[in-house]
Amino acid sequence: MSTNDAALPTADRAAETLTLPSWQAELRAAVRDPAELERLLELPAGALGVPAGTGFPLLAPRGFVARMRKGDPNDPLLRQIWPAAEELTPAEGFSADPVREQGLAAHGLIQKYAGRVLLIASGTCPLHCRYCFRREFPYQAQLAARADWEPAIAALRGVADVKEAILSGGDPLSLSNRRLGELLARLADTAVTTVRIHTRFPIAIPARVDDGLIRVLRGTRLKTVLVVHTNHANELDTSVERALAAVRPALTALLNQSVLLRGINDDAETLAALSERLFACGALPYYLHLLDRVAGAAHYDVDEARGEELIAALRARLPGYLVPRLVREIPGELSKTLLA
């Protein structure tokens, strides 16, 4: 997770912004300064505590920040992106590679599950989610985009019975439409029948759903599944709703995955509101993940028993298609482990 331009001086960023597609301009203009974030949210300086200085800096697009409640240090969107001091407290069982995938990656391709391969399409994200299990992933060494995707595609051709390519990252929609189109064309020239794109872009920067992206998705022979990542209904404002409505006709399926996060969405009412809001936006809740135990994220952890209790509460109040599957990733297992 990084932004390629994070090191650019502000003035340079502003000048280049003039020629960029609007979503790239929004990414460049994202909030990176903790003190500025406090000011934008009308919080007193220092109200959120001393930010943790880590190699995974604050990154929050201004449109996402605008959905946060002003003056509320416990806002559920703010808590997903604020680098809290607790990140620096070591916790037993939390590590840099919680799902032990770093050793599995080769040419930006990871094969964990039968019939599917995962491509690390990009190391760039539209925002930095503090609980992200790939916050310490070595993107520079593991990018499928190298050499025009050639080594990754060659490795994919060597995988038996592969039907689905899962584009992950980072965020695959940080690729330009041209690069994404090239990748889909390469994949369409293999035995793959479905491409699944895991992305937070339509939520963080809805302008990413532009005409060019829709053309790319419509133009492939592959079945296309878009899995967005939303944890709280407040993330889904009208700009996101419009973006999802625009992209949906170009897809085979539009799904959502969430992470169960302490103090953010670990109550039945919040999760039910999320499912209902997703449905209103045309997306179905797919997975609710228990946290992958990445170092720095222990303060978000919710235990399995509470997760199961929440799913039971959702079943009692929602139709089955609005109840996500509670899953945990266990290193070495051939699929996610279904808990409820």
Contact residues for ligand SF4, defined by CB under 6 A:
1, 125, 127-129, 132, 134, 169-171, 200, 229
Residue with Cβ nearer ligand SF4 (165 or 291): 291
* Residue 289 vs 318, nearer CB to ligand SF4: 289
Q: How far is the CB of 229 from ligand SF4 (least distance, A)?
A: 6
Query: Which CB sits closer to ligand SF4, 28 or 134?
Result: 134
Q: Which is nearer to ligand SF4, 133 or 149 (CB)?
A: 133
Give the nearest distance from C-beta 134 to ligand SF4 in angstroms.
Answer: 5
Closest distance of CB 59 from ligand SF4, Å: 8
SS3 for the chain is CECCCCCCCHHHHHHHHCCCCHHHHHHHCCECCHHHHHHHCCCCCCCCCCCCCCCCCCCECHHHHCCCCCCCCCCCCHHHHCCCHHHHCCCCCCECCCCCCCCCCECCEECCCCCEEEEECCCECCCCCCCCCCCCCCCCCCCCCHHHHHHHHHHHHCCCCCCEEEEECCCHHHCCHHHHHHHHHHHHCCCCCEEEEEECHHHHCHHHCCHHHHHHHHCCCCEEEEEEECCCHHHCCHHHHHHHHHHHHHCCEEEEEEECCCCCCCCHHHHHHHHHHHHHCCCEEEEEECCCCECCCHHHCCCHHHHHHHHHHHHHHCCHHHCCEEEECCCCCCCCEECC
The residue among 37 and 129 lying less far from ligand SF4, judged by its C-beta, is: 129
Q: Which one, 181 or 296, has the nearer CB to ligand SF4?
A: 296
| Shortest reach from residue 168's CB to ligand SF4, in Å | 7
Q: Smallest distance from the beta carbon of 80 to ligand SF4, in angstroms? A: 9
φ, ψ of residue 317 to 5 degrees: the values are -120, -10
**Closest CB to ligand SF4 among residues 51, 170:** 170
- The CB-of-100 to ligand SF4 minimum distance in angstroms stands at 17
Q: Rounded to the nearest whole angstrom, what is the least distance from the CB of residue 183 to ligand SF4 in the complex? A: 17
